Structures are given as structure tokens and as C-alpha cells.
Amino acid sequence: MSSYTGTSIEDMMSTLKDRYFYGLRRTDHGELFLGKVDQMSKTDSLTINNPGDTTQNYPDFVEGQDFTEGRDVNHNLVYDNLNYEQYRWDTKNIWYYVNDEGELVARINHKYTYDDNDSSAGNNYGS
């Protein structure tokens, strides 16, 4: 017989309004990158603000709050250090990819294996 102390997985899940974080960013070369974090994963992590002058950080990151205003009307970054210029939260586990016809596809709860050899490192510094 075992005993358990602490918050159960059921209790933890009921406190998370949106379990998955999805961030979208574009490099200076026009490549699009999607970051995804499962808040229940012990290994998932993302960088919200890249290293640099802290006055260029995005200061208002809040769990569960979507953000779509990372570029101004001239398509310039609003916060130079913000790694994902748009992000959203969702309760669903979604895999986004572009198929052979060039269409953006969203698979819900159906894993997609990404080819990590089809793009650059995905950063604007040192690329």
C-alpha cells in the first residue's frame, strides 16, 4: 500500500485553464517557427524574451492571455527581445504543419513528426 501527499493530477488539471502554449515567430529571412509547450510536461520549455537590453523585453506575459501585437503597422518588432511575436493558449494538443500542397494543417490530439533538417537554426542572431 502506498500513500500520496500533495496535489493530485486531477486537481492540477482542473486549475489549468489552458494547458498548451503556442508561440509563432518569423526570422529576418522570412522563415516561420512555431513553439509549443505542454505545461504538464517536465521537459518542455520556451524562451519568451531573448537575452538583451531589458527595456526591449515584453513585460506583460500572463498565463492564459493571448498576444497578437508583436509587430507594428510597418511590420517591425514592437519588443526586440520578444521571441514569439504572437502567441496563444489552448486546452487542445495541436500539431501544426504545412502539407505537400502548401496548406496549413492542424492535427488535434494526433501527433505529427517534424523534420528538423528542413530549416535554419531559426534565430536572427548569428544566422
d(CA 115, CA 120): 12
Joined grid coordinates for residue 42: 517536465
Kindly state whether residue 99 falls inside one of the protein's structural domains. Answer: no
In a domain, residue 86? The reply is: yes
Q: How far apart are CA 75 and CA 72, in angstroms?
A: 5
Residue 32 falls inside a structural domain: yes
Residue 115 confidence (pLDDT):
77
Per-residue pLDDT of the chain (127 residues; tens, 9 = 90+): 555 566 665 665 566 678 999 999 988 888 888 899 998 899 999 999 999 999 999 999 988 999 999 999 998 889 999 999 999 999 999 999 888 998 989 999 998 887 776 666 666 544 3
For residue 83, give its domain range.
9-92
Kindly state the helix (H) or strand (E) to which residue 106 belongs, with its residue range. strand 104-108
Residue 125 has what pLDDT? 47
Quick one: pLDDT at residue 127?
38
- Residue 80 in any domain: the answer is yes
Number of domains in the chain: 1
pLDDT computed for residue 53 by the predictor? 94
57 in a structural domain: yes
In a domain, 13, yes or no: yes
**Residue type for position 17:** K
Evaluate whether residue 40 is within a structural domain: yes
Cβ neighbours of 87 (radius 10 Å):
24
94: left (phi over 0), alpha (psi -120 to 50) or beta: beta
Structural domain contains residue 85: yes
